[in-house]
Amino acid sequence: MPSSTLFRGIALQTSRQIPKVGSLPLTGSFIQGKVVSSTEEPLPIHAPGTGEVIGRMVPASKAQVDEAVTTAEKAFEIYQWGPRAGMERRSELLWSISQRLADEAGLLGQVESINGGKPRADADMDIQEAIRVFRYYAGVATQLPETHHSPEPLVSQTVLREPRGVCALIVPFNYPLVLAAWKVAPALACGNAIVLKPALETPLTALHLGRICAETGLSPPGLLSVLPGGGNVGEWLVGHPGVKHVSFTGSPRSGRQVALACHAREDRLIRPTLELGGKNTIVIDAGMEDRVEEIAKAIFDGAFGNAGQNCCAASRVLVHEGLHHSLLSSLQSLIRQAKLGVGKNAQVGPMISAQALERAKDVVQMARDAHDQGRSGGVVQGGKVEEGQETGYYLSPTLLLDIPDTHDLATKEHFAPILASLKPFSNLEEAISRVNATGGCIASGIWTPHPDRAHRFTRAVRAGTVWVNGYNATYPWLPFGGAGGGSGYGRDLGMEAIHEFSSTKSVTHFHSPC
């Protein structure tokens, strides 16, 4: 069956509200421009919004990992030195991919919403962000940075940027197409070959991306492969001697394993790019009394968007003592009115899996236990499965009150729609100290009417991204990543991603006198 026909079948079937078990064809890996199966045991693909099985995925085998990397090595040489190589060609390809994504945005939004358990409006926004990323790097591809020096009249020097080779890109379930775009686009812009491993739970839009790249003329065919699977596929990729760079987004525990594997390689040491999340805090300063409802809505979106399954989710809120009561009252009102589901009018979707839902319930119980022990205000809103949502993996948005800064509820990333409200602060320096006590995070934010206090906060907090009077807005040209602690190192997006996917070569040319 041609790959295009197979993938169209996936899209049409997943548009059903209640898919039938086994309604999708078997879906496997995308290697050398076609979908191929393996001898691995097929695994179910679930729709988080209903809990139904909508298809089966055949994970990549070790032999397929070897095949994908070997063909990528050969394709890399052609992509780098072949007759159609060069920055202009790469720019054209990236722009063409962005156009095809735009043409199929409706279809991709359907698939992302159902396979990823996202409210349809959120899924559509994700597709638009992926398009923007490819368009941005289409421009960057013709402007890769080189520097030139002439220390003496007869000496010229150039610092070149060269692609690394075969790159293993490992992305999580929470933003399947967006995070694939964050890595694939700059890697291709630099001239690399790619093996992309999507999460086992959400492989479908990554497979669509592989198809779209092939259909827009990305060649040779082995230049981009997509290998769905679990942790073993990632281990095989990271340990493969043909892989020259690893870019990973996921949990701190898995990220540490990736780092150790990269540094332990006997054939070649690799410094991976690691984006590992963290415990992010949004701070509400004094003087914002007139904007309480606006701020409450921003906190709601930042904490509960994507069901809290977001590496930069505002999972802690720290409010000035003068605003604490009124702001939390507004936030509770929003939580009570929240619409759960995956439809166009939904605000909060389900957790990705039944296992993730059970872990979130354990966190809620931990909060209730802390209240019973007199250690916190406990669960003041949400924290339950709403009536009518029993068939999906839903947990209502949950607000925890007066959580001690050192409690696990305030220090560990739980990746769930759970917001810990800390005890209020009295001055900005106290707030900064309490934010930094986590050791570093992906993001933080402050709402304040005072530019000088905003400046102090943005410079003092240890976070890779800081928002002022807003939250959770990313742009292709702004680098994204952690700031120490367990949040990882390296950057996605911006020109900094170009640095991740390329290395420098210093060339000195001694000229002869005329």
474 occurs within a structural domain:
yes
Tell me: the pLDDT tens digits for 467-509?
999 999 999 999 999 997 788 999 999 999 999 999 999 999 9
Residues 230, 312, single domain; the answer is no
pLDDT of residue 330: 97
The verdict on residue 12 lying in a domain is: no
Q: What mean pLDDT value characterizes the chain?
A: 91
Question: Do 212 and 308 reside in the same domain of the chain?
Answer: no
Contact 367, 400 (CB under 8 A): yes
Q: What is the bridge-based pairing of β-strands 441-447 and 281-284?
A: parallel
Q: Is the dihedral of CA 390, 396, 400, 406 positive or negative?
A: positive
Q: What is the CATH number of the domain that holds 229?
A: 3.40.605.10
- pLDDT, one tens digit per residue, over 4-30 is 334 444 443 333 333 332 344 558 999
pLDDT, mean of residues 237-257: 95
Per-residue pLDDT at 216: 94
**pLDDT(254) > 70:** yes
My answer on whether 110 and 211 are in the same domain is yes
**268 shares a domain with 233:** yes
* Beta strands 378-381; 316-319: pairing state: unpaired
State residue 505's pLDDT score: 96
Residues 137 and 249 in one domain: yes
Angle at 463 between CA 301 and CA 319, to 5 degrees: 50
Q: How many CB atoms lie within 10 A of CB 499?
A: 18
Domain assignment of residue 48, yes or no: no
Residue 256 has pLDDT above 70, yes or no: yes
Same domain, 89 and 131: yes
The CATH number for 319's domain is 3.40.309.10
> Looking at residue 480, what is its pLDDT?
97
CB 339 within 8 A of CB 349: no
Q: Is residue 111 part of a domain?
A: yes
- The distance between the two most distant Cα atoms of the chain, rounded to a whole number of Å, is 88
Cα(488)–Cα(271) distance, integer angstroms: 11
> Is the N-terminal amide bond of 220 cis, ω within 30° of 0?
yes
Tell me: do 175 and 317 sit in the same domain. no
DSSP for 419-442? EEEEPPBSSHHHHHHHHHTTS-EE
Q: Which residue has the higher pLDDT, 301 or 2?
A: 301
Q: What is the pLDDT of residue 210?
A: 95
Among the ranges given (3-12, 277-286, 294-303), the one the predictor scored with the smallest mean pLDDT: 3-12
pLDDT range class, residue 266, cuts 50, 70, 90? confident
Which residues participate in catalysis according to the annotation?
A: 275
Task: Please give the pLDDT value at position 452.
Answer: 97
Domains held by the chain: number? 2
Distance CA 363, CA 252 (A): 18
- Interval 203-212: pLDDT, tens: 999 999 999 9
Per-residue confidence (pLDDT) for residue 21, from 0 to 100 = 29
Query: Which residues fall within 8 angstroms of residue 385, CB to CB, at 6 or more apart?
Result: 394, 395, 396
Q: Which residue has the higher pLDDT, 256 or 387?
A: 256
Q: Tell me which long-range contacts 33-42 makes (C-beta under 8 A, separation of at least 24).
A: 33/3, 33/214, 33/221, 34/3, 34/221, 35/1, 35/3, 35/6, 35/7, 35/207, 36/64, 38/63, 38/64, 40/229
The Cα–Cα gap between 352 and 349 comes to 9
- Residue 261 inside a domain? The answer is yes
Residues 111 and 239 in one domain: yes
More confident residue, 413 or 85: 413
Distances (CA, A) of 141 to 94, 134, 495: 9, 10, 10
- Mean pLDDT, rounded, for 345-351: 96
Distance in angstroms (rounded) separating the CA atoms of residues 217 and 175? 25
Q: Are residues 301 and 287 in the same domain?
A: yes
For residue 270, give the 3-state DSSP assignment: coil
What is the predicted pLDDT for the residue at 22?
34
36 assigned to some structural domain: no
pLDDT at residue 12, as a whole number: 32
Q: Which residue range is the domain that position 208 belongs to?
A: 61-276+491-503
For position 265, what pLDDT does the model report? 78
Q: How many other CB atoms are there within 10 angstroms of residue 488's CB atom?
A: 29
Q: Return d(Cα 256, Cα 175) in angstroms, integer.
A: 21
Per-residue pLDDT, averaged over 421-448, amounts to 95
- Which whole-number Å values give the CA distances from 238 to 72, 231, 308, 396, 407, in the listed order? 15, 11, 28, 37, 35
Q: 69 in a domain, yes or no? A: yes
Contact criterion met (CB below 8 Å) for 474 and 129: yes
Instruction: Give 480's DSSP letter.
Output: B
Tell me: do 353 and 437 sit in the same domain. yes
Question: Are 209 and 319 in a shared domain?
Answer: no
Task: Average the pLDDT over 88-110 and give the result.
Answer: 96
**Is residue 139 assigned to a domain?**
yes
What percent of the chain clears pLDDT 90, i.e. is strictly above it? 82
Whether 151 and 108 map to the same domain: the answer is yes
State which amino acid sits at residue 483.
A
- Element (H or E) spanning 507, and its range? strand 502-510
Q: What pLDDT is attached to residue 440?
A: 83
Q: Each residue of 26-49: pLDDT tens digit?
A: 589 999 988 888 888 999 999 999
Any idea of the CA torsion for 101, 103, 104, 105, to the nearest 10 degrees? 70
